Amino acid sequence: MPERRSPVDRFKRSLAQATRALAGRPRVEIGFGPAARAADRATLRLPEPAAPLDAAAAARLRGLADRLALRLAHHDPAVHGRARPTASPAGALFDAIEDVRCEALGARVLPGVARNLTAALAADLARATPTAPSNDHGTALARALPLWLRERLTATPLPPAAAAVLAGARDELERRAGATVDRLRPLVTDQAAFARLGRELLGDLGVACDAARSAGERSERRELRLGVPLATPTDAPARAPSITPTADDAAAASAAGGEDLDIGRRADRRERQPPVAVPRRARRSPESDYRVFTNAHDETQVPERDADPAELDRLGEALRARARPFEAELARLANRLERRLLAPQRQHWRFDQDDGVLDTQRLSRVIADPSARSAYKEAVDAAFKDTVVTLLIDNSGSLRGSAIVIAALCADLVARALERCGVKVEILGFTTREWNGGRSREEWLHAGSPGRPGRLSDLRHLIYKSADAPARRARRNLGWMLREDLLKENVDGEALLWAHERLLARRERRRILLVLSDGVPLDESTLSANGSRFLERHLRAVIAWIERASPVELIAVGVGHDVGHFYARATAVRRIEDLGAALFDRIAGLFTAPPRRR
């Protein structure tokens, strides 16, 4: 019989697998010793877990592992070295800013990673030697800067112990560098651009930086007008220079005793595929005059995590009840879609090969001449293997009633059909938290209503199903769309950027973003203060940028409206009853036609 592993050994094995998956390095050596460190880019060393391993210690170890994995996945030492100031303390602060950038790339898309990093930070703060408040104002700011930057870039709560460090410094950091951090947020996937603006951030705080050492870092600074600071995703991703964390909660694998090895096994399978390089031009936000007054009140909601379980069950049942009149027809369409997608897998062979499976139709040739070549056939994977699809659903108030029920049901059936064909599916939604702006508008009014403030609403982005979650869990979450106070207004451009960033964080070679929308973006608070076409211009800029520069394939289905004047690849559905047929036909066409080339 095989030797039984101890709980600590199982935990170490799962932790190593998850760390490799997050780092995107299936062959990186994971060792355990007295301290956590990256010995080199091929070796990571983690602290040896103590037995028995409690939940707090396990969370801290996962956080330390995630730090090292994210640094290995996203940090280019050459880029960092060219921009790093040599003077002290600028160099040390610059290093800390880069650490925060790498951690933000994981925390913004994977909630398990965010929790792990918070646990590791809490443990660091708890072990830190207590010190009296510094009389040196600059020292106090330097200590608070990484914590404040982490809070701003990830929108995840800091551990309570961080409050003392930030006390008295937060307001000044916001006043002196808040605007620069707003410009930093969309640049976390571009290390070079982030580094240039990171030096500017240090300058805002009065930290002297020596002359940059790269020819590209010139003294003149051009205004980076890079569009919207992306809303903060949780649960998933996001990747660049080669974003690789795709185990949605892989880094949160193995509870304290290391019992859950399913995530580790999934990580093993994902390791077989190398990271997919993302063109540099696809890592930048679209240039536009778009602005955001404040994103402090935006949120990303995950129903199964944030909702009351009883209410989620009730809404899931309500969705099933309201979907019954449409379910039989849509299920028939989904089955037809599945058959169309599975057929190429069963029948697609490449003939006249020099090796492979013997082609029985060429058997006589082999008997006559055993040295005959080209007598074999080779099975060919369907073109849609190694593909991930994101369904981005407009959750605005105009889709109330049957429209949102059918949209939710279609998303559920699409996810199930594609999952059976080996295609990962993510289901996202977008709306606003309040009508007429919410707290963002209140802050603008309190500030004296300055002109052209930019977006004046509190966004709500929703993750109904992450790409790595099983499809059977989707319908319960999709019932959340039936919540009475959910469907409000819609800011499509920022939602597209958010969904796009999550897709770039995937390992799959083909990424498809399919948008279900009822037409133009509408947010009365924003439009009344910025002009009637402010949101529309930004949406057009985002769409043009994705269609021109991104490896993501963008397709739209207009519900009740023709969105062809926005999207190059679009289908219009005039009657909501036709949504299922149009959606399934559009998806089938994606996988029976050759992938779009860039």
Query: Residue 105 in contact with residue 74, Cβ under 8 Å?
Result: yes
Phi then psi for residue 572, to 5 deg, are -105, 135
Q: What is the mean pLDDT of residues 509-538?
A: 89
Side-chain-side CA neighbours of 261 within 13 Å: the count stands at 10
Tokens of 248: 């949605």
Same domain, 354 and 485: no
The predicted structure's pLDDT at residue 128:
67
**Dist CA 367 CA 378 (whole Å):** 20
The fraction of the chain above a pLDDT of 90, given in percent, is 17
Same domain, 512 and 553: yes
In a domain, 178, yes or no: yes
In a domain, 165, yes or no: yes
The predicted structure's pLDDT at residue 214:
38
Query: Residue 429 in contact with residue 462, Cβ under 8 Å?
Result: yes
Q: Point out the domain boundary residue: 188, 204, 220.
A: 204
Q: Point out the domain boundary residue: 185, 204, 223.
A: 204
Query: Residue 105 in contact with residue 241, Cβ under 8 Å?
Result: no
Same domain, 370 and 453: no
The predicted structure's pLDDT at residue 239:
32
Domain count, the chain: 3
Same domain, 466 and 362: no
Same domain, 373 and 309: no
Q: Pick the range with the lowest mean pLDDT from 6-10, 90-94, 114-118, 329-333.
A: 329-333
Q: What is the mean pLDDT of residues 323-340?
A: 69
**Dist CA 187 CA 458 (whole Å):** 21
pLDDT band at 53, cuts 50/70/90? confident
Contacts of 123 (CB under 8 A, 6+ apart): 56, 60, 63
Asked if residue 206 has pLDDT above 90, the reply is no
Q: Pick the range with the lowest mean pLDDT from 207-221, 233-247, 517-531.
A: 233-247
The predicted structure's pLDDT at residue 102:
92
- Domain at 463, CATH number: 3.40.50.410
In a domain, 372, yes or no: yes
The predicted structure's pLDDT at residue 538:
93
More confident residue, 218 or 412: 412
Same domain, 397 and 478: yes
In a domain, 290, yes or no: no
Same domain, 433 and 352: no
Residue 34: exposure state from Cβ atoms within 10 A (0-12, 13-18, ≥19)? exposed
Most confident of the following: 154-163, 241-250, 364-373, 380-389 = 154-163
Amino acid occupying residue 366: V
3-state secondary structure of 277: coil
Q: What is the mean pLDDT of residues 273-296?
A: 59
Asked if residue 557 has pLDDT above 60, the reply is yes
CA dihedral 488, 289, 500, 546 (to 10 degrees): 120
Q: What is the mean pLDDT of residues 24-48?
A: 74
In a domain, 46, yes or no: no
The predicted structure's pLDDT at residue 272:
34
Same domain, 453 and 516: yes
Which of 79, 98, 90 lies closest to 213 in space, CA to CA?
A: 79
Which of 390, 401, 372 lies closest to 429 in space, CA to CA?
A: 390
Same domain, 337 and 361: no
Annotate 6-47 with DSSP letters as a single string: PHHHHHHHHHHHHHHHHHT-TT-EEEEESS-EEEETTEEEEE
Which residues pair with residue 31 across a beta bridge?
Answer: 45
Same domain, 476 and 565: yes
Query: Residue 489 in contact with residue 394, Cβ under 8 Å?
Result: no
In a domain, 150, yes or no: yes
Tokens of 565: 């004047």
Asked if residue 277 has pLDDT above 60, the reply is no
Rounded to a whole number of angstroms, the distance between the first and last alpha carbons of the chain is: 53
pLDDT band at 338, cuts 50/70/90? low
Q: Pick the range with the lowest mean pLDDT from 269-273, 323-327, 354-358.
A: 269-273
Same domain, 421 and 436: yes
DSSP for residue 293: S
**Dist CA 290 CA 49 (whole Å):** 49
In a domain, 280, yes or no: no
Helices 534-549 and 492-504 meet at what angle, rounded to 10? Answer: 20
In a domain, 236, yes or no: no
The predicted structure's pLDDT at residue 233:
33
Asked if residue 579 has pLDDT above 80, the reply is no
Number of Cβ within 10 Å of residue 27's Cβ equals 7
Q: The domain containing residue 355 runs over which residues? A: 348-379
Asked if residue 344 has pLDDT above 60, the reply is no
pLDDT band at 328, cuts 50/70/90? confident
Q: Point out the domain boundary residue: 204, 227, 255.
A: 204
**Tell me: the pLDDT tens digits for 390-417?**
999 999 887 787 788 888 888 888 888 7
Mean predicted lDDT score pLDDT of the chain: 75
Beta strands in 208-356 (DSSP E): 299-301, 349-353
* Strand pairing category for 510-517 and 459-465: unpaired
pTM, 2 dp: 0.51
Q: What is the mean pLDDT of residues 292-298?
A: 91
Instruction: Give rounded-to-5 percent helix, strand, coil for the chain.
Output: 50, 15, 35
Same domain, 356 and 441: no
* Strand pairing category for 357-358 and 349-353: unpaired
Asked if residue 193 has pLDDT above 70, the reply is yes
